[in-house]
Amino acid sequence: MQYIPFGQTGHLSSRAIFGAAALGGMSQFRADQTLALAADYGLNHIDVAASYGEAELRLAPWLQKHRDQVFLATKTGQRTYGAARDELHASLERMQVAQIDLIQMHNLTQEEPWQQAMSSGGALEALVEAKEQGLVRFIGVTGHGTYCPAMHLRSLRAYDFDSVLVPFNFTMMNDPVYAQDFEALYQYCQQRGVAMQTIKAIAARRWRPDDPQRRFSWYRPITDPEAMKRAVDFVLRREDLFINTSSDATLLERLLVCIEAPVTEVSPERLAADVLHGDMEPLFVRGISDDVRVAE
């Protein structure tokens, strides 16, 4: 596993960040097995959220033995000072830790919630206060949808966030507006030393009612090993990007094998063929499907 600086935090994080949403509906036994697998592959960075079902609770027993071995990140979706403060404290209690390395404002991509979170009495005030109190070390922002890169850039210009998390895959980058916004965000993060996490690397498309497969994530993932490797390499060819693992834990080892292997250059024509043969399409389309689910 390759390790690179996580922005300016001073931490060398594995390029694969464990997406702990996968633990949300698991038994403790299964969660412990999954975390052991991630550790066996050298993952030293965990990304969870207060809203990921039972995930923070499932992490707690493992963290009691391994807390000093991982960079621990969680998220709050609350937008006001009091609610964000309370949710952060609840996360600390659920995971039974004294400090979180990174607290992130979750899916901050819409105008009204952004204004609320970033203004006086908003969530950012609570997170800055928690940093001053030593409860968290760093602060980041995450997002879904086509407005995500542009909104992250706006957030970074309003506050010096330590990290961002953004969708990045071949189908999304085929949208010229999204690609332009992503590149602007990427260049800004490069210049300022902001860590850039990517999600949805192996997303094929949204589920359709007649899809026969069992559903372990809200989108249909790429499962073909060769297409998965090409999708991973599309992300990792940029040497400073991180890739967050899927919430479908049944694909974790297959995905980590792809991430651990040497990165190869993949032609746009080969990726376009994967899109065609794999029946892929963008997860997010502006004005049509610009959020995670119809209701979340």
Note the pLDDT of residue 285. Answer: 85
* Residues 6 or more apart in contact with residue 9 via CB below 8 angstroms: 71, 101, 102, 137, 138, 162, 163, 195
Domain 3-208+215-277: which CATH class? alpha beta
| Domain range summary for the chain, segments of one domain joined by + | 3-208+215-277
Name the band, by pLDDT with cuts 50, 70 and 90, for residue 292.
Answer: low
The tens digit of pLDDT for each residue in 8-49 reads 999 999 999 999 999 998 999 999 999 999 999 999 999 999
Is the pTM here over 0.85, yes or no? yes
Type of residue at 36: A
Note the pLDDT of residue 20. Answer: 94
Mean pLDDT lowest among 95-109, 172-186, 229-243, 264-278: 264-278
Query: What does the DSSP 8-state code read for residue 280?
Result: -
d(CA 292, CA 106): 12
